[in-house]
């Protein structure tokens, strides 16, 4: 087997003209690593020409000199790497890309020029000069799914064969794009009819857009990452990386792919084409798919946060939320893989599957408790009954409830959820607790769509930091009322515009840390001074040592106020640990070297219990339930951020689950008999714990026992 012969097999595969004998030969060759590498070189070249330079692959599909094709492929890949190095290319990168493209053009000219170079006079050369080579390959049958779904022209890259003929300086027509395939050897059967799978792969290379929108119901939006959204309209084209979203409630859209596959997006659904169009990402919502038939060796992939589905032609629906992906098959079958466990299974017509699987045992009890809690919150009054008594919290606790509903799995299309969200977005930014919780909600909900509002939350928090680095209850900021502008890379930069109060407290400060962490995750650039002053405030208010842990070192906790002003207690200490972990990450400081953080972990290791609030807090008697569920929510944040399942010997989550499952009331709420206990607050804090709402820090390197 020669490289030229292998290249011919590749081209016949693209044309769907492989005979059974050629197909068997090609499969045997691809078992060898050298031929497999050459196959990747050829296929990379075709894809790079289309994706990087907008050139029809047919322009370079065949060359008399096979080595020039491989050299040309490497040149194109080099130029593609330069192009993808950044959003804005520096002059050197542009020059490199231009040079690579120039070399590619020279290689192409040399390769094509060999076919038209003058030969010695003679009958044979005269025939070659007067008659262009005939393309004996079988062309795929004409089928245009675009025209079937949409009358009128479709957008398509133009191949040289379809371009109007242009004359060269000598007056002769340019050489054809494809050379003739040699006649089939006598000992091989005639080529079989066109291969549908190969034709589909070839057709995909010639289409610049993957799908078109057939219809839109209600509102829908389209955007590229870190760019403004535009209205989704019938007839618009969808390409790789484009994000499509439908509105909650009555929103919906129908898409038709280049291969005839139809996708129906339900309300509050978000999808993105990825992987060059071979994979569709479903971020959330409902998707109904009527997939065109495909070769099983060339599947189409649908991916969610929990599962991957291999599709070869079937009808099914898939629903995805933050907790689970559920699949139901109407016709055909798909391969369904649970990404968490790695298990894969074949799901056939009439069957369903979910990832992760439905919970059992104690996990099922937790899920049932969350459902009952959601039912309670959906009908609860979030307004404070005595607003004057809670002036420092604002007139309601909408943000606390919205965050609980979001993490407990309430669909965003639910009327109660939408009404609460609308009320939050219309309200002024005026209290630290509420603004920080709002930033956390919006970042989790959709950090792109709500980035502007998150930027306003960040401005409020930066402007309300006290002189000592803490936060108090907060007052409105004029700068936070202005709409921030996006800068390079879609980021919003926030700068301090005023001085805050002289000092604050650790409860507001731990909420502020949570809010700033969410803002940073949403692409908000925070003043470094704000973060460093906050870290210093936590260090300044940490209590004197009360003992020593054999692993963590000195035992030091926090209370609500200044250092040693009151015995340390659980909520403030766990909140301080979580805050320091967030700030260390944002400041790119090594968590393992943070002595204040480790001293706080030592306090939790010595004092943690889920049955009561250790401390006790603020002059309460031992065994108090005051702020008990608030304390458990801060334990969840600290443990989840750092990836710690236990602070001492006992696992914090298992202990807390047992306490909460046993104390939930018949109406689905939680409420302790304490002065500051309120059923809506306590129910929200219990949901935060049970649902484990906090995402771990990326590659958290917190010190762990045994290291």
Q: What is the pLDDT of residues 164-174, one digit of tens each?
A: 333 333 333 33
Give me the pLDDT at residue 530, please. 97
Q: Which residues contact 66 (CB under 8 A, 6 or more apart)?
A: 2, 3, 4, 6, 7
User: Is residue 342 left, alpha or beta, with left meaning phi > 0 and alpha meaning psi from -120 to 50?
Assistant: left
Average pLDDT estimate for 427-446: 94
Q: pLDDT at residue 76 above 90?
A: no
Q: Is 119 helix (H, G, I), strand (E, B) or coil?
A: coil
**Lowest-confidence segment of 126-130, 224-228, 295-299, 626-630 by average pLDDT:** 126-130
pLDDT at 240: 82
Q: What per-residue string of b and e applies to 292-327 under the rule 16 or more CB within 10 Å gives b?
A: bebeeeebbbbbbbbbbbbbbbbebbbbbbbbbbbb
Local confidence band at 313 (pLDDT 50, 70, 90 cut-offs): confident
- Encode 575-592: b = buried (16+ Cβ within 10 Å), e = exposed: bbbbbbbbbbbbeebebe
pLDDT top residue among 436 and 6: 436
Q: Once rounded to an integer, what is the mean pLDDT over residues 608-612?
A: 93
User: pLDDT higher for 636 or 41?
Assistant: 636
Query: Which segment, 128-142, 387-401, 434-448, is predicted with the most confidence on average?
Result: 434-448
Q: Which of 586, 596, 436, 450 is nearest to 507 (CA)?
A: 436
Residue 392: its pLDDT value, please? 64
Number of neighbouring beta carbons within 10 Å of residue 441: 27
- Residue 226 scores a pLDDT above 50: yes
Q: Is the pLDDT of residue 607 over 90?
A: yes
Q: Give the mean model confidence (pLDDT) for residues 202-217.
A: 71
Among 19-28, 224-233, 296-305, 517-526, which range has the highest average pLDDT? 517-526
Pairing between strand 279-290 and 262-265? Answer: antiparallel
**Of 214-228, 586-600, 625-639, the least confident:** 214-228
Q: What is the mean pLDDT of residues 608-637?
A: 87
Return d(Cα 150, Cα 463) in angstroms, integer: 54
DSSP assignment of 19-82 equals: -HHHHHHHHHHTTSHHHHHHHHHHHHHHHHIIIII---GGGGS--SSHHHHHHHHHHHHHHHHH
Question: Residue 186: its pLDDT value, please?
Answer: 43
Q: How far is Cα 611 from Cα 680, in angstroms, rounded to an integer?
A: 20
Per-residue pLDDT at 216 exceeds 90: yes
Instruction: Find where tokens 């006079």 sit.
Output: 121
Q: Give yes or no for residue 706 having a pLDDT over 60.
A: no
- Which two three-digit tokens encode residue 617? 């807090």
Between 59 and 233, name the one with better pLDDT.
233
- Flag whether pLDDT at 476 surpasses 80: yes
Mean pLDDT of the chain: 76
* Integer Cα distance of 263 and 301 in angstroms: 13
Highest averaged pLDDT of the listed ranges 178-187, 320-329, 651-660:
651-660
Q: Distance (Å, rounded) from C-alpha 199 to C-alpha 177?
A: 18
Give the C-alpha separation, 685 to 509, whole Å.
Answer: 17
Mean pLDDT of 185-208: 46
Cα torsion angle, 510, 515, 518, 519, sign? negative
Cα of first residue to Cα of last residue in the chain, in angstroms, is 57
15-29, 95-109, 373-387, 677-691: which range is least confident on average?
A: 95-109
Per-residue confidence (pLDDT) for residue 300, from 0 to 100: 82
pLDDT at position 636 is 97
Nearest to 256 by CA among 146, 142, 330: 146
How high is the pLDDT of residue 43? Answer: 65
Peptide bond preceding 698 in cis form (omega within 30 of 0): no
Give the angle subtended at the CA of 409 by the CAs of 406 and 412, to the nearest 5°: 60
**How much is the average pLDDT of 273-296?**
84
Say what the pLDDT of residue 102 is. Answer: 47
Q: Is the pLDDT of residue 305 over 60?
A: yes
- Of residues 83 and 103, more confidence is placed in 103
Pseudo-torsion of CA 13, 14, 16, 18, nearest 10°? Answer: -20
Is 558 or 138 the better-scoring residue by pLDDT? 558
Q: What is the mean pLDDT of residues 438-445?
A: 95
Can you give the pLDDT at residue 555?
A: 96
pLDDT above 90 for 535: yes
Least confident of 23-27, 117-121, 453-457, 701-705: 117-121
pLDDT of 141 above 50:
no
Question: How far is it, in rounded angstroms, from Cα 49 to Cα 104?
Answer: 11
Q: Which of 195 and 67 is assigned the larger pLDDT?
A: 195
pLDDT at 276: 62
Banded model confidence at residue 614, pLDDT cuts 50, 70, 90? very high
Domain with CATH 2.60.120.1440 in the chain: 209-355
Cα separations (Å) of 443 from 143, 429, 540, 586? 45, 16, 30, 16
pLDDT band at 118 (very low <50, low <70, confident <90, very high): very low
**Cα–Cα distance for residue pair 409/80, rounded to 1 Å:** 42
* Cα–Cα dist 135/113, whole Å: 18
Residue 201: the pLDDT is 47
One of 2.60.40.1890, 2.60.120.10, 2.60.120.1440, 3.30.365.10 is the CATH number of 209-355, namely 2.60.120.1440
Reported as a pLDDT band with limits 50, 70 and 90, residue 8 is low
The pLDDT value recorded for residue 59 is 35
Given this model, what pLDDT does residue 586 score? 94
* HEC profile of 219-265: CEEEECCCCCCEECCCCCEECCCCEEEECCCCCEEEEEECCCCEEEE
Report CA torsion sign: 512, 513, 516, 518: negative
* Lowest-confidence region among 141-155, 204-218, 395-409, 616-630: 141-155
Torsions phi, psi for 699 (to 5 deg): 50, 50
Least confident of 382-391, 494-503, 667-676: 382-391
Q: Which helix (H) or strand (E) holds 474?
A: none
Burial class of residue 221, CB neighbours in 10 A (0-12, 13-18, 19+) = middle
Residues 636-690: tens digit of each pLDDT: 999 999 999 999 888 999 999 999 999 999 999 998 877 777 889 999 999 999 9
Q: At what angle do helices 398-407 and 679-691 cross, to 10 degrees?
A: 30
| Ranges assigned E (strand) in 350-483 | 352-355
Does pLDDT of 225 surpass 50?
Answer: yes
The whole-number pLDDT of residue 385 equals 53
pLDDT for the residue numbered 11: 64
pLDDT at 93: 40
């Amino acid at each position: 087997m020669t490289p030229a012969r292998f290249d011919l097999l590749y081209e016949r595969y693209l044309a769907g003209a492989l005979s059974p004998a050629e197909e068997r030969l090609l499969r045997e060759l691809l078992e060898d690593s050298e031929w497999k590498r050459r196959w990747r070189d050829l296929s990379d070249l075709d894809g790079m020409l289309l994706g990087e330079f907008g050139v029809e692959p047919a322009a370079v599909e065949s060359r008399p000199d096979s080595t020039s094709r491989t050299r040309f492929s490497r040149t194109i890949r080099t130029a593609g790497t330069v192009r993808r190095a950044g959003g804005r290319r520096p002059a050197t990168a542009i020059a490199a890309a231009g040079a690579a493209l120039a070399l590619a053009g020279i290689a192409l000219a040399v390769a094509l020029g060999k076919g038209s170079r003058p030969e010695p006079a003679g009958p044979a050369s005269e025939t070659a000069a007067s008659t262009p080579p005939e393309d004996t390959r079988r062309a795929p049958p004409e089928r245009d799914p675009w025209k079937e779904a949409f009358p009128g022209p479709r957008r398509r890259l133009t191949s040289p064969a379809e371009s109007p003929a242009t004359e060269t300086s000598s007056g002769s027509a340019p050489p054809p794009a494809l050379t003739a395939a040699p006649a089939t050897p006598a000992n091989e059967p005639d080529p079989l009819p066109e291969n549908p799978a190969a034709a589909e792969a070839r057709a995909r290379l010639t289409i610049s857009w993957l799908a078109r929108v057939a219809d839109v119901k209600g509102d829908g939006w389209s955007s590229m990452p870190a760019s403004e959204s535009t209205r989704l309209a019938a007839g618009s084209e969808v390409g790789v990386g484009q994000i499509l979203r439908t509105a909650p409630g009555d929103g919906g859209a129908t898409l038709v792919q280049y291969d005839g596959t139809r996708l129906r997006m339900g309300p509050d659904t978000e999808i993105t084409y990825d992987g060059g169009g071979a994979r569709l990402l479903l971020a959330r919502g409902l998707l109904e798919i009527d997939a065109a038939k495909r070769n099983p060796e060339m599947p189409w992939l649908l991916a969610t946060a929990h599962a991957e589905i291999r599709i070869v032609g079937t009808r099914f629906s898939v629903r995805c939320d933050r907790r689970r992906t559920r699949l139901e098959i109407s016709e055909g079958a798909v391969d369904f893989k649970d990404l968490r466990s790695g298990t894969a299974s074949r799901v056939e017509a009439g069957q369903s599957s979910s990832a992760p699987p439905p919970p059992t045992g104690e996990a099922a009890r937790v899920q049932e408790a969350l459902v009952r809690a959601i039912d309670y919150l959906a009908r609860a009054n979030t307004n404070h009954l005595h607003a004057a008594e809670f002036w420092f919290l604002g007139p309601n606790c909408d943000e606390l409830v919205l965050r609980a509903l979001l993490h407990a799995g309430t669909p965003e299309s639910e009327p109660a959820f939408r009404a609460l969200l609308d009320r939050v977005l219309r309200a002024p930014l005026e209290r630290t607790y509420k603004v920080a919780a709002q930033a956390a909600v919006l970042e989790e909900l959709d950090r792109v769509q709500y980035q502007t509002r998150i930027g306003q939350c960040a401005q409020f928090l930066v402007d309300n930091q006290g002189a000592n680095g803490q936060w108090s209850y907060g007052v409105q900021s004029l700068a936070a009322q202005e709409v921030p502008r996006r800068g390079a890379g879609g980021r919003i930069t926030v700068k301090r515009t005023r001085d805050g109060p002289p000092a604050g407290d650790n409860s507001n400060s731990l909420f502020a840390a949570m809010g700033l962490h969410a803002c940073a995750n949403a692409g908000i650039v925070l003043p470094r001074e704000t973060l460093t002053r906050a870290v210093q405030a936590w260090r300044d208010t940490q209590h004197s040592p009360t003992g020593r842990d054999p692993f963590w070192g000195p035992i030091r906790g926090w209370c609500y106020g200044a250092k040693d002003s009151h015995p340390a207690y659980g909520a403030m200490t766990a909140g301080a640990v979580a805050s320091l972990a967030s700030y260390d990450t944002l400041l790119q400081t090594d968590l393992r070297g943070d002595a204040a953080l480790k001293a706080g972990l030592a306090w939790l290791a010595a004092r943690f219990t889920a049955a009561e609030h250790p401390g006790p807090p603020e002059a309460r008697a031992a065994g108090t339930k005051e702020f008990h569920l608030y304390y458990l929510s801060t334990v969840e944040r600290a443990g989840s951020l750092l990836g710690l399942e236990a602070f001492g010997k006992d696992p914090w989550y298992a202990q807390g689950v047992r306490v909460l499952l046993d104390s939930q009331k018949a109406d689905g709420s939680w409420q302790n008999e304490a002065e500051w206990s309120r059923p809506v607050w306590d129910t929200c804090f219990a949901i935060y714990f049970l649902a484990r709402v906090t995402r771990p820090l990326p590659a958290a390197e917190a010190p762990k026992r045994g290291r």
